[in-house]
Amino acid sequence: MSAAPTHEAPRSRQAERYVGLMSGTSLDGVDAVLAEIGPADQTRLIRSHYLPYADGLRAQLLALHTPQPDEIHLAAVAANELARLYAEATSALLDGTAPDSVRAIGCHGQTLRHRPADGYTLQIGNAALLAELTGVAVVADFRSRDIAAGGQGAPLVPAFHAQVLRHPAIHRVIANIGGIANITDLPVDGTVRGWDTGPGNMLLDAWIKRHRGENYDRDGAWAASGAVHPGLLAALASHPYLKLSPPKSAGREQFNLDWLDATLSSLSQTIAPADVQATLLEFTALTLCEAVSQECGSARELYVCGGGAHNGALMQRIEARLPSLRVTTTTALGIDPDWVEALAFAWLARQTLHHAAGNLPSVTGARGARVLGAIYPA
């Protein structure tokens, strides 16, 4: 019988290099990092690269989130295209660095379905093709093992946050605001917890794309031009997901344009598009801040990462709703907010290769610590 996995990777005498690839629910592109991870999990960002999705690929991936004819073939073709894009991002990232100096690529893949209640999650990206194209071992499919063990399969980044960003004397919360927003509660003493609080940028991006043809609301400027509609905010805040207790995770299954449209229709009044955008931004701030206030009562600091860290209007609303906390980005902790998640999947790949757990059962609800991921050798 093999030994149970631990959260501490076995101490090696030398630092190892890993690539982390993250493409999240925002469907904007690929975040790629080259990281050096030392014997005590010291993580150093060596290099980073961002490769945006072409509009056609973004539309194709968005369409695959709902059932359609021949979707198995379409998903497989999209997975191959993603693998080639991941390989291109990796090549640009390494920029002459020998592939054999990299221990592995940790590739999250692109989520098409996340349904832990039904016992599955699906991230595509053809890891076998990625290993073939790059000549580097690939670790992928990180979420499935946690779900097999009864967990949510998400969020997974809290284990990385706990290892790298926890403070011995200050209660911190890390908020990752991507398509979905999630928080990691890092008390000085006690159990690390984390969960998805609700939508992050997902609805904001979808709404501005529909009305202005833009992929995102730069600095929250369009939202700031509108006014929050109290009735719409109350209707959004009545979503059943928000009443669930952690552990819990969310995605496009819960928060999407169809749901938003139905909510708007239920109000029987016309709301200006800019006011809807302002209300959606307030909804993201409200759900995140209520989670912090209700579940992380003694926290003194909140550090934001992900795309939401660049939304000035959103950051202002979070600060206003959490006046007793220091609110800033992970830049203050020495990690650029754009690269935290990609770094987390580089770290998770290392955990896998060292037969160390990558999940936190207190976060995901799994029956125990598990080694995550499937390995595709070079």
pLDDT in tens, the chain (378 residues): 345 665 655 545 689 999 999 999 889 999 999 999 998 888 999 999 999 999 999 999 999 999 999 999 999 999 999 999 999 999 999 998 999 999 999 999 999 999 999 999 999 999 999 999 999 999 999 999 999 999 999 999 999 999 999 999 999 999 999 999 999 999 999 999 999 999 999 999 999 999 999 999 999 999 999 999 999 999 999 999 999 999 999 999 999 999 999 999 999 899 999 999 999 999 999 999 999 999 998 999 999 999 999 999 999 999 999 999 999 999 999 999 999 999 999 999 999 999 999 999 999 999 999 999 999 999
Residue 87 neighbours by CB distance under 10 Å: 20
Beta strands in 61-143 (DSSP E): 104-107, 110-115, 120-124, 138-140
Residue 278 pairs in a beta bridge with none
For CATH 3.30.420.40, list the domain ranges present in the chain. 16-154+338-376, 166-333
Which positions ≥6 away from 154 have C-beta within 8 Å? 114, 116, 121, 143, 182, 196, 249, 364
pLDDT of 1 reads 39
Nearest Cα neighbor of 86 from 184, 143, 20 is 20
Query: pTM of the full predicted structure?
Result: 0.94
Residue 327 neighbours by CB distance under 10 Å: 21
Measure the CA–CA gap between 167 and 175, rounded to whole angstroms: 15
Q: Is 24 exposed, middle or buried (0-12, 13-18, 19+ CB in 10 A)?
A: buried
Angle at which helices 127-134 and 71-94 pack, to 10 degrees?
Answer: 30
Task: Report helix, strand or coil for 222.
Answer: helix
Q: Is 213 exposed, middle or buried (0-12, 13-18, 19+ CB in 10 A)?
A: exposed
Q: What is the dihedral of CA 309, 311, 316, 318, to 10 degrees?
A: -50
CATH topology of domain 166-333: Nucleotidyltransferase; domain 5 (3.30.420)
Beta strands in the chain (DSSP E): 16-22, 29-37, 43-52, 104-107, 110-115, 120-124, 138-140, 172-177, 180-186, 193-199, 301-305, 326-329, 374-376
pLDDT of 2 reads 44
pLDDT of 9 reads 52
Measure the CA–CA gap between 323 and 313, rounded to whole angstroms: 16
Angle at 223 between CA 220 and CA 226, to 5 degrees: 150
Amino acid at 181: A
Phi and psi (nearest 5°) for 114? Answer: -135, 100
Angle at 55 between CA 54 and CA 59, to 5 degrees: 120
Phi and psi (nearest 5°) for 44? Answer: -120, 125
CATH topology of domain 16-154+338-376: Nucleotidyltransferase; domain 5 (3.30.420)
CB 172 within 8 A of CB 137: no
